[in-house]
Amino acid sequence: MHPFSSVAVGSCATGTREPGQGRKAAALSGTPGVPQTAWPPLSRTGAAAPGPNVACMENPDPTVGPADEDHQADHDLMGVALAEAALAATAGEVPVGAVVAVGGRIVARRHNEREATGDPTAHAEVLALRDAATALGTWRLDDAVLVVTLEPCPMCAGAAWAARIGRLVWGAPNPEAGAVGSLYNLGSDPRLNHEYPATGGIRAGDCAGLLTSFFARHR
């Protein structure tokens, strides 16, 4: 069972399980005749990868995760992301909001806009990263923190990797498509040329509540 109060919906969830998910499970199962996927993945040197670099703040371990002041900053930034998510819900979008901050200063804040734009890539994280790069005049966001109300999907976790994000913070887990701890961990894969630490579960109940209430009204 997932350590957080999970919701089976997300910014890229369909509500139904796709056929490929069965093949993925089989690839991790040890079933004879099925090509197997190693987990944890091996690094480029062949060494076993370390465990996922995700601090779970709903059940915090005092030996891991950010300092107390950073945790409070994450909590405050998540409040802004939640406000963005609420705007998305009002507009009929899946309520996911994202914020990019540098040194505690917000440089970008966005929410999902897939319905409004007809753009399948218009997730809150991608839009916020684009705006942050424009505001800072560089695509490298290694001094920035990305805060998002829902654990990013593979596309958005990959966008954070491409931006060389310094740290990622997410609220509710995404058991259907999460790529920063739930299904994959693109932020902590030694085969990639950049890794970033992540903190999960910040205001998870508030973030999940927006999603469950939205889908209760729309499904």
Residues assigned a catalytic role: 125
DSSP state of 46: S
The DSSP secondary structure of 129-155, one letter per residue, reads: HHHHHHHHT-S--TTEEEEEEE---HH
Across-strand partners of 102? 105, 144
Q: How far is CA 4 from the centre of its chain?
A: 14
Q: What is the DSSP string of 188-204?
A: G-TTSS----EEE-TTH
104 touches 73 (CB < 8 A): yes
Per residue, the 3-state secondary structure of 49-118, as one string, reads CCCCCEEECCCCCCCCCCCHHHHHHHHHHHHHHHHHHHHHHHCCCCCCEEEEEECCEEEEEEECCHHHHC
Cis amide bond preceding 40, omega within 30? yes
Q: Are 199 and 169 in contact (CB under 8 A)?
A: yes
Residue 98 CA, chain-centre distance (Å), reads: 10
